[in-house]
Amino acid sequence: MDGSTFHDSSGDVVLSALPNLWGSIQVVRTCIIKNNVPNPVSLVTRHPDYETIHRRLGHISDEAIRHISDNVEGTEKICFPNKKYICHSCALEKLYQCNFPENPKRSSETLGLIHSDLLELPTLSYSKYKWVITFLDDYSSYCRVAFLHKKSDAAEAIKAVFWLWSNTTSHSVKCPHTDNGGEYMTLELQFFLCKQGIVHETSTPYVHQQNGQVEQLN
């Protein structure tokens, strides 16, 4: 990125600045070329206004801003706007999400709709299992779990449970409903579901309420 130079009223270069990226932070490296002010403390273009101070100090309240000039040496009195300032970021932080209505619909047959989710155990089990995958039948509320050593074992566990139900009952899985976790979206598992004629439903990303039954189970 190109740098910039700053000139005084006589045209002499007094300051050079070179922008640079430090990780995800934008950094501007400056160098004073010529200084006509003895013992400068800081060089600013203007005193920051109310909005600038509010944003720079982490969107603090008006009450906290009023105490700045009384408690910080060398700070000028901050002028508040005549009209109430509405900060867009602060307004977004105070928003809340409405409750999701319960879905009254239930599956009309056994294994017609299966809810599934993955749960990480807080500690490693005696048999070295770290993950649990749960299956909940929407029609009967029957639940089955499978223990996994690692997340990548999820596809094999899902296939094993679906084959088990198909061979031990007179029903077969019609539609599993899961989130968009990578363990459910592997090519291996998607090929298996497609080959068996199973329709895979997924919830909207970051909307866990759509997978609420198995979320509450976990």
Residue 206, Ramachandran bin (φ over 0: left; ψ between -120 and 50: alpha; else beta): left
Query: Token pair of 177, please?
Result: 């409903």
User: Tens digits of per-residue pLDDT, 2-52?
Assistant: 567 777 777 777 777 777 766 656 566 666 666 665 655 555 545 678 888
| Percent of the chain as helix, strand, coil, to the nearest 5 | 30, 20, 50
Nearest to 81 by CA among 108, 52, 109, 101: 52
Q: How far apart are CA 166 and CA 176, in angstroms?
A: 14
* pTM for the predicted model, two decimal places: 0.58
Range of the domain at 4: 1-43
Query: Do 75 and 91 fall within a single domain?
Result: yes
Query: Do 91 and 180 fall within a single domain?
Result: no
Please report, for the domain that includes residue 158, its CATH number: 3.30.420.10
User: Tens digits of per-residue pLDDT, 102-159?
Assistant: 777 888 899 999 999 999 999 999 999 999 999 999 999 899 999 999 999 999 999 9
Dihedral sign, Cα of residue 202, residue 207, residue 211, residue 214: positive
Pairing status of strand 131-137 against strand 143-148: antiparallel
The H or E element containing residue 193 is: helix 187-195
The amino acid present at 209, given as its one-letter code, is: Q
Residue 106 inside a domain? The answer is no
Query: Do 12 and 80 fall within a single domain?
Result: no
Residue 33 inside a domain? The answer is yes
Number of domains in the chain: 3
